[in-house]
Amino acid sequence: MTAIPRSTPRVLPGLSLGLGISILFVTLIVLLPISGLLWQLAQLTPADYFRVMSSERVLTALRVTLTAAAAATLINGVFGLMLAWVLTRYRFAGRGLIDALVDLPFALPTAVAGIALVSLYDRSGWLGSVLDKFGLQVAYTWWGIMIAMIFTSIPFAVRAIQPAIEELDPDEEAAALTLGANGVQRFLRVVLRPLMPSILTGVGLSFVRSMGEFGAVIFIAGNLPYKTEIASLLILIRLDEFDYPAAAAIAGTLLLLSVILLVAINLAQTRMQRYLRAEG
């Protein structure tokens, strides 16, 4: 028996309008620009690409960017976890204010953050002058880059970890206590392990953000080629020289790195969650 196929009319209105607007916007604002980069990349031969990428200046810029981002991420992982823990588990005066201030680096324009940080860590600044007494210099060095990256990405770490701590069951900690687990064991087994997926997410987002950060970093970085030049700035310099292929090669590499990272985080997260659920 063959029923005459009829398309069923939709009950709620607005699918075609909503979808139409979405597709138009996403095409013009997201898809086309990204494909512009891919199109430029496609015009590069592999040899061209490797010539650009293997130049000493590019390699240094990538190394500076990635190592500073990694260091910033590590610090944000530790302090992000701590802040998230303190904000969800403890009640103290000013907690609400602190909670709100965690988002400040996200809300503050990056250029503003940049000049604020450099004015603080410059030799004449409040912190810079103190550090100078110990012969330490942060501004215009790799350390400055790292500080700027910590600043802009700390909210991502905290906000990714916070909900997971809220969901932790305090009873399990208590149970571990009655079973005689000491503090460290308890923390590692009962607290850290279920938090791992969200810590990973927070840390990953923080790294991706740090890797691409520009405004906050360039003021404090010093921007010396072969020393304190970040990859984003090098893209801009190549652009000003109208060397679009080189700019596209570096940008494409950065983009690919962040996409790979985000996909990896996503995969690892689902897998770990499945594993943890199977265990529990």
Residues numbered 105-144 forming contacts with other proteins, rule: CB under 8 A: 105, 107-113, 115-117, 119-120, 125-127
Instruction: Kindly state the smallest distance separating residue 82's Cβ from other proteins, in Å.
Output: 6
State which residue, 31 or 276, has the beta carbon closest to other proteins: 31
Run of H or E residues at 135: none
Tokens 């996403």 appear where? 26
State which residue, 120 or 168, has the beta carbon closest to other proteins: 120
How many Cα neighbours within 13 Å face the side chain of 233?
Answer: 24
Q: How far is CA 4 from CA 1, 7, 8, 10, 11, in A?
A: 10, 10, 12, 18, 21
Residues numbered 30-49 forming contacts with other proteins, rule: CB under 8 A: 30-37, 39-40
Query: In the chain, how many H helices and how many E strands?
Result: 15, 0
Which sign, positive or negative, has the C-alpha torsion 61, 67, 73, 79?
A: negative
Residues numbered 191-230 forming contacts with other proteins, rule: CB under 8 A: 208, 211-215, 219
206 touches 156 (CB < 8 A): yes
- Applying CB under 8 A, the span of 138-146, 159-167, 191-199, 239-247 interacting with other proteins comes to 239-247
152 touches 216 (CB < 8 A): yes
State which residue, 97 or 278, has the beta carbon closest to other proteins: 97
Instruction: Kindly state the smallest distance separating residue 177's Cβ from other proteins, in Å.
Output: 13
Residues numbered 73-112 forming contacts with other proteins, rule: CB under 8 A: 79, 82-83, 85-87, 90, 92, 96, 98, 100-105, 107-112
CA distance 164 to 188: 15
State which residue, 170 or 183, has the beta carbon closest to other proteins: 183
State which residue, 31 or 179, has the beta carbon closest to other proteins: 31
Using CB under 8 A as the binding criterion, the count of chain residues that bind other proteins stands at: 86
- Applying CB under 8 A, the span of 52-60, 132-140, 160-168, 253-261 interacting with other proteins comes to 253-261
N- to C-terminal Cα distance for the chain? 50
State which residue, 94 or 280, has the beta carbon closest to other proteins: 94
CA distance 156 to 158: 6
Helix (H, G, I), strand (E, B) or coil at 24: helix
State which residue, 68 or 83, has the beta carbon closest to other proteins: 83
Amino acid at the residue 54: S
Instruction: Kindly state the smallest distance separating residue 45's Cβ from other proteins, in Å.
Output: 18
Residues numbered 162-181 forming contacts with other proteins, rule: CB under 8 A: none
CA neighbor of 207 nearest in space, from 168, 265, 124:
265
- Applying CB under 8 A, the span of 12-20, 54-62, 129-137, 168-176 interacting with other proteins comes to 12-20
Instruction: Kindly state the smallest distance separating residue 76's Cβ from other proteins, in Å.
Output: 10
CB atoms within 10 A of CB 175: 13
